[in-house]
Chains A and B, each alone.
Chain A
Amino acid sequence: MNMNWFTVIAQIINFLVLVYLLKRFLYGPIVKAMDERQGKIEQRENDAQEKILIAEGRAQDYIEKTAKLDQEKNEILYHTRQEAEAEKKDYMEKARDEIDAQKRLWQDSMMKEKVQYLAEIQRHIGSQSYRIAKRVLEDLATMKLEKILFEVFLDKLASLEAKEKSLISGNLVRPSSRAVINSAFEISEEDKKRLQTVIEEALQGVEQVEYRVSPEIISGVQLEVNGYHLEWSIGEYLKSFEERFLIAAESENLS
């Protein structure tokens, strides 16, 4: 076991030189390269992390935006639906009103037509019945009947109430008025005298009496003094019957 101190010192120097050289050529570059790589990896990781954060942020943004859009869409839809509903309601109401109006118009016109038609029918029936009656009465109107009719007229005139008498007299424009007697038949002279007496008695102020024969007065006599009519004839009855018939028919139709 021998040891050479010179060699020991030389080896110490050799070792220290080797330490330096290896540090210079081995550890330095290697550690540097490793550190750089580490740095790069960290950089990449940081970049990736940043990108992930950005991406997450964007994703969050998109989610929020989508939610907002959805909400807006729903709101718009809701409003539009409501508007559409309101408009529909409006239109429906308008349409209903129009239909109602049309219906009313139609009903009115229908009613009018109906009434007119009914009136026409009734008028027709009335006038037909009147005509039939007139015809029958005309056929029946003999001298005997005429005589009876004249007597009835005289009675009626004689039995005029004071009120009616004064009403007729009051209507006289002039004291000396002319009375017209229309009759369906020729009145005999004797009857004329009797009538004259009754008129003068009943209606004071009537001086002149004119006699006219008018066939449209069916079997009857009519007195006309200054627009006042006193009539007793079958024609008058028929007319008043016709009038009443029409009124009754119309009121029935309207109800």
Chain B
Amino acid sequence: MKLSPDQIVYFKWHGFEILNATIVFTWVIMIVLVVASWLITKKITSGSKISRWQNVLETTVSMINSQIYEVSRQEPELYLPFIGTLFIFIFAANILSAIPGFYAPTASLSTTVALALCVFFAVPVFGIARRGPKSYLKSYLQPTVLMLPFNIIGEISRTLALSVRLYGNMMSGTVIIAILLTLVPLFFPVVMQVLGLVTGMIQAYIFAILALVYITSASQIHQDKNKQEGE
């Protein structure tokens, strides 16, 4: 039994796996999302009469924006592309997994690790972008210099936790369905499939929100500090 789409290899070059199901289905998702976005935004209008699909996109974007604002209390423009893409990609991958023959890339540890690494690097990138390198690096010495190793460990461990959480949930869904198929071949897996869709949505939301919290917490300190300075 193949637990990860990484194990399905389509193309090898000199004994090196180049094209596996994870990458292929990621591309599929990318193509679907980009083409759909392009098609919808091609006829976009700023008038009061808008198409149904534009309405869906606008609702999604403003929902993400409001979530970002609620968590960070900052203007959402800077975070929207990164956090929004995280959510939409994971959401799309988990929803599309309901299609038979579709392997959710998120069920691969490689994908979740890749996403977690993106968040890992995004934290200092956004932090430095907002507060400057000096101020950002100083935050690792808070509240005392002694805390530096713990801060670094915390940074790494939460990235690890983030990736493993998503991977575990996605993979477990697939594994549970596989096991149940052998035990109760009819009907029950359908219920599990539906449950899997719900967990997929929740996971997408959790992953995006956690990433947002990590990233904005780096800027939050900056704001607090500014406030103190102001006082």
Could you tell me which A residues sit within 8 Å of B by CB distance? Answer: 1-12, 14-19, 21-23, 25-27, 29-34, 36-37, 40
Contacts and interface: CB of A to CB of B under 8 A. Distances in A.
Interface string B18-57: 1010110011001001100110010011111000001001
23 contacts: A2-B109, A5-B110, A7-B6, A7-B22, A7-B23, A8-B117, A11-B22, A11-B26, A11-B111, A14-B114, A15-B89, A15-B115, A18-B30, A18-B34, A22-B81, A27-B61, A27-B80, A30-B54, A30-B57, A34-B61, A34-B62, A36-B46, A37-B47
A196 B169 CA distance: 191
Interface of A is mostly: helix
Given A25-B34, A25-B37, A19 B81 contact: yes
Contact of B20 (A1, A4, A15, A18): A4
A3 B46 contact: no
B122 to A, nearest CB: 10
Contacts of A5: 110
Contacts of A18: 30, 33-34, 85, 89
B58 A22 contact: no
A11 B5 CA distance: 13
Contact of B17 (A1, A6, A19, A34): A6
A16 B118 contact: yes
Given A6-B17, A22-B85, A33-B46, A12 B114 contact: yes
Nearest to B18: A6
- The interface centre, meaning the residue of A2, A11, A32, A37 with most chain B CB atoms within 10 A of its CB, is A11
